[in-house]
Structure 1
Amino acid sequence: MEKRFDIVGIGSMVVDLIYRTPRIIGGEEKIALQRYETGEPVRKLVGGVTLNHLSWAGLLGLKTGIFGRQGDDEYGRFLRAGMDRYGIDRHITLDGSASSFAHIFVDPNGGRAIYMSPAATSETTGAYLREHHTDYIRSSRLLSTEISQLPLDAVVAALEIAHEARIPTILDIDIPRSDAIRTLGSEMDFERALKFADYIKPSKAAVSELTGESDTLPAARLLREKYQARAVIITDGESGCAIAAADCNQRIPAYRIKAVDTTGAGDAFLGGLIAGLHYKLDWQDALKLANACGAACSEITGATPDLTKSRDRVFELYDGSSFEHKMPAATKQEAGDSPYDNAVSHFLTIAPEELVTLAHRIGNQNDIKRIADLILKAEARGGRVHITGIGKPEYVAGYISALLSSTGTPTYFLHGTECVHGSAGQVVPGDVVIAISNSGETGEMKATVASLKKIGALIVGVSGNSDSWLAKQSDAFLFAGVKREGSPLNFEPRASILAEIFVLAALSIELQSRKYITRAQYNAWHPGGTIGKATKE
């Protein structure tokens, strides 16, 4: 069979909900969580042992794929969008009860506590895997799987299919043997899984039960001898790793870094190790590459790479022999691929995620309250409210003008480019002008705002860039930013327009609430149509 992939994997694919805590607490304790710098109380990221290591392998240029089972739900859509972002092909069935998620609590030193809900992953049986995914396994040069959330009979089935097709296998043991047997299957299947694996990568936490050894290097030797693996590699956090192989028995120290969050560091390590095997590095260099990935992962929040900087950071840390490597699969468009594949589904996933993130960022509502104060004080002095925008935000301005006017705050639309050709005459000193620009750097907006400030208007800037010219020139500022538009080319303003409407609609609610607009007042301004009829009754 044609080998389409360098590696495919089955196992955990999890939505990680990551919280900051002053410390990891025990039973019967309570503690207040800390917010992120952006004001978010929680971050939602893609994760899971298998998805994590595939994302790091893909970052280093490998063609990766993931297979298994999910629910057709919000978390599943979030995960599949993440797979697309990291260039991970997928062969996923959507008949599970729910998609997997985990609550992760991280302390200031990067220590963590993780509570997992494996959901559909734990419902995958060996028979199910053989029925749905056999050909997908055979299409790869290497298979990875895990002992973490996947039932042991499914782990064995995946390894057997690969073994029958003479495909090398890697087994990541993420939990102790007793936990695996208690929650995932039988002792016999646990032993069979290790015997079928060509490369075994247990964490140090899983090793002591397997060998009775606390020292990683002797433990690696014992495991290799017992299961006749090509190599056993044991990770040991900030101490690095140990390997037992035919031509290499040694410890490789970790790189010294300041850890932010160690979630997924072992998974990133495995992604680097897989890349080292793919590029045929010797063991020392392969493990240095693996350690570099683990270290780079520990410097960021979450378990998957930051596509803007993690690759560069890996090669800053890596001090092994140079080698020719490919660019990340996630940043190159394969022949025949199109940004329009699944474009609607992509948008329907991305846009709500961006709005939820924005809601967390402005959740304390201080900026909204400050702007409402500014407007109410201006109105008390006889001032009026105007709203303007350049490009697509012009249409947002038109809608918000109508919304504010119909909910108790008379607001006048001001044409953005006509402002410097006479329309600024509708503004008098002390008026408030809401100015909308996604970049906050548009030349026309700069000219408009500059002319309005000369008149003596108070400027409320609305932008997706809090460091923009508009933000700095404003008397009050409201952030309305998104990282992803959800558009096929990621330039066309879609999610950013929704974000502008979203935050300004919130401002309209604050003003309406302060003025305590009654149904009768609303009907006086909006007597027509179905709404007029409903508010009159």
Structure 2
Amino acid sequence: MADGKLDVVGCGSMVVDLFYRAPRIITADEKTILDAHDAGGSVERTQVGGLVLNHLGWARVLGLSAGIFGKMGDDRHGEFLRAGMDRFGIAQHLTLDGSSSSFATVIVDANGDRAIYMARGATAELRPEEIQRRHGAFIRRANIISTEVSQLPLATVNAILAFARKHSIPSVLDVDLPATDAARMLGTRADLERALRLATILKPSKAVAASLAETKNGDPLKMAEKIRGRWGNRAVIITMSDRGCAIAARDAALKVPAFRVKQVDATGAGDAFLAGILAALRWKLPWEAAGRLANAAGAVCIKRLGAFPERFELRREILDLYGSALPETPSLRNDGFRPPSPVEQAEHEVREIERFFAQSLDELKILRGGLDLGALGRAVEMIRQAQARGGRVHVTGVGKPEHVARYAASLFCSVGTPATFLHATETLHGSLGQVHPHDIVIAISNSGNTEICSAAIAIKEQGAELIAVTGNRNSDLARLADLVICAPVRQEGGGLGLAPRISVLAETFVLAGLSVALEVARGLTAEEYSRFHPAGALGDAARRRARDGNPKGKG
């Protein structure tokens, strides 16, 4: 497939979506607390997104070969997006000379409705003259071309659609902005009119269609017919949210009802829907079947958080709703995925490892620049004062921070500050007796909103002081604490970006730094260190330093 035809080639928004959950979408001058995504307490979830990249991902799930061209930044968001494309086998023809890659903040409420704040980045910088000069050969590989009215300049959209028409390639235009907004933000009304005429097929939402048909509460099918009659498209397909879609084509005019499913997040419904239309066009399905397939893809999408499909097995869910088999594609297995060769897989794994190392170093550098060293100093003072009163040090955490807590307690002991691990869950079932008034408890949690908070309340009621090591200064744990050491990270690294990796590094980094300060405050000598390590290489090294008269290893 390296130089062969591609079922669909797209150009447009490629976005890193930063998802947050909230009880509701708030308005101006309001404030709310974000909900955690899962039991681990993370409030942010990072996913591949963007209108065009989303529908290409769903097209891959449906068995199409797909490619994308355009511009992005040579930055961490761009790396994340390209890794997602690699995982889904989306061919890429991208220049990395943009100012920055696009990202969006997506707030999803309890009903699955959302508010989106988007930074267009490099997508907005793709110029019309680059289409033929930089990407022409790649675009000519397409059987269908897709683009959007969302982030691209309208002049660039017109260059893409004109190229498609010149080379007799059908084009699909996803119109995501109302006419007045599109003309104001992306070009001119004349630019928009030209794009609408050039596209083979238009796919607007009902709200956008109303702006194109210049009506407020019109029937979607009548709006689709009016729009098609005005701009002469082969078909106009209007999505109607949970009511399905309306299709006005040269040989058909119909509404196709939606499938009833529980909505979790509607962010990518229209993108998955468009993938179904693209698949139907590629396989020349009748319009009623095209609507059913598109509705099935949209329904499967809204059952989960995020707009980009996370696995190819979603194809089976789509087929179950659609109720029919899909044609085989000659270049792909029926599950829509050509497995990478062993060499390709190994190269991909190495790239992911390198990306993780780079992300980790970047995050730790940012953490170091923003770390409140004064808070570490106050933590040392609190611990020393507690020890003077006969108090002790305990370290606790839930989940992966539990392992960090065990390490920190052991490390503190080894450098002369006795500390014990406190099991957070068992604290509520008897182990609270381990904690006395005047003790210090260090509680570790990236989100600060996990089960650790129940333990923290009990610890405070026991009369102990609480030091929180957390990535969330506004968390419940931070509000309970006597002192907060904030260690935030923006990303966890890894393919999904979900497993605690970089946050664990940050917590370990901070607590290791605290151990250094405690060691210095105590005035630990090599002779004392050797007594704490009667065996092993570290003990031997400490004894040699003590014998050589270099008790602190200086010299």
Normalising by structure 1, we get a TM-score of 0.70
Matched, 1:151 2:157: no
1:25 has 2:26 as partner? yes
Preserved CA contact (<8 Å) 1:8 1:66: yes
- 2:357 corresponds to 1:345: no
SS in 2 for 1:290: helix
CA distance in 1 between counterparts of 2:350 and 2:307 reads: 27
Q: Which residue of 1 aligns with 2:296?
A: 292
CA distance, structure 2, for counterparts of residue 534 and residue 249 of structure 1: 85
Cα–Cα, structure 1 residues 181 and 510, in superposed 2: closer, same or farther, change >3 Å?
Answer: same
- 1:235 paired residue number: 239
Q: Show the counterpart of 1:102.
A: 104
Judging changes above 3 Å, is the alpha-carbon distance between structure 1 residues 81 and 517 closer, same or farther for their aligned structure 2 residues? same
- 2:311 is the counterpart of 1:307: yes
Aligned residue among 52, 58, 78 for 1:50: 52
- The sequence identity of aligned pairs, in percent, is 42
Residues 85, 330 of structure 1: 8 Å contact kept: no
Residue pair 1:155, 1:193 contacting (<8 A) in 2 also:
yes
**Aligned 8 A contact 2:74 2:96 in 1:** yes
CA offsets 1:390-432 (integer angstroms, 9 cap, x no match): xxxxxx9xx9999666544799xxxxxxxxxxxxxxxxxxx98
Q: Which runs of 5+ in 2 are unaligned?
A: 364-389, 396-403, 424-490, 530-537
Corresponding residue for residue 164 of structure 1 = 166
SS of the residue 1:172 aligns to: strand
Q: Could you tell me how far apart the structure 2 residues matched to 1:57 and 1:173 are?
A: 18
Residue number in structure 1 paired with 2:202: 200
The 8 Å contact of residues 20 and 33 in structure 1, kept in 2 or not, is answered as: yes
Partner of 1:458: none
Residue 280 of structure 1, aligned match among 271, 281, 284: 284
Match of 1:258, SS? coil
Q: 1:318 to 1:510 in 2, by over 3 A?
A: farther
1:332 aligns with 338
| Structure 1 residue 505 corresponds to structure 2 residue 508 | yes
Residue deviations 1:369-396 (CA, integer Å, cap 9, x gap): xxxxxxxxxxx9x9xx9xxxxxxxxxx9
Q: In structure 2, how many angstroms separate the alpha carbons of the residues matched to 1:218 and 1:301?
A: 33
Measure the CA separation in 2 of the matches of 1:64 and 1:342: 19
How many angstroms does 1:320 deviate by? 4.6
CA distance in 2, matches of 1:190, 1:337: 46
**Is this contact kept in 1: 2:172–2:199, CA < 8 A?**
yes
1:259 to 257, 260, 263: 263
CA drift of 1:2 comes to 6.5
Q: List per-residue Cα deviations over 1:47-96 (Å, max 9, x = no partner).
A: 00000000000111111011111111111111111111121111111110
Q: CA deviation at 1:505?
A: 3.1
Query: C-alpha displacement at 1:158, in angstroms?
Result: 0.8
CA shift in 2, pair 1:508/1:31, >3 Å? closer
Opposite residue 4 of structure 1, the aligned amino acid is: K
User: Take 2:361 and 2:172, find their aligned partners in 1: how far apart are those partners?
Assistant: 39
CA shift at 1:276, angstroms? 1.5
Partner of 1:319: 323
C-alpha distance in structure 2 between counterparts of 1:336 and 1:246, whole Å: 48
Query: Aligned partners of 1:63 and 1:354: how far apart in 2?
Result: 34
SS of 1:78 mapped into structure 2: helix
Separation in 2, partners of 1:337, 1:233: 42
The aligned runs of 1:119-518 (5 Å cut-off) are 119-213=121-215, 214-307=218-311, 309-320=313-324, 323-324=327-328, 327=333, 331-333=337-339, 338-341=344-347, 343-350=349-356, 406-408=414-416, 502=505, 505=508, 509=512, 512=515, 516-518=518-520
Q: 1:485 to 1:224 in 2, by over 3 A?
A: closer
Distance 1:18 1:504, change over 3 A: closer
- In structure 2, distance between residues paired with 1:84 and 1:198: 29
**Alpha-carbon deviation of 1:306?**
2.4
How far off its partner does 1:41 sit?
0.9
Structure 1: state its 5+ residue gaps: 358-379, 386-395, 412-430, 435-481
Given residue 273 of structure 1, which amino acid in structure 2 is its aligned partner?
Answer: I
Q: Secondary structure at the match of 1:62?
A: coil
Q: Please give the secondary structure, in 2, of the residue aligned with 1:340.
A: helix
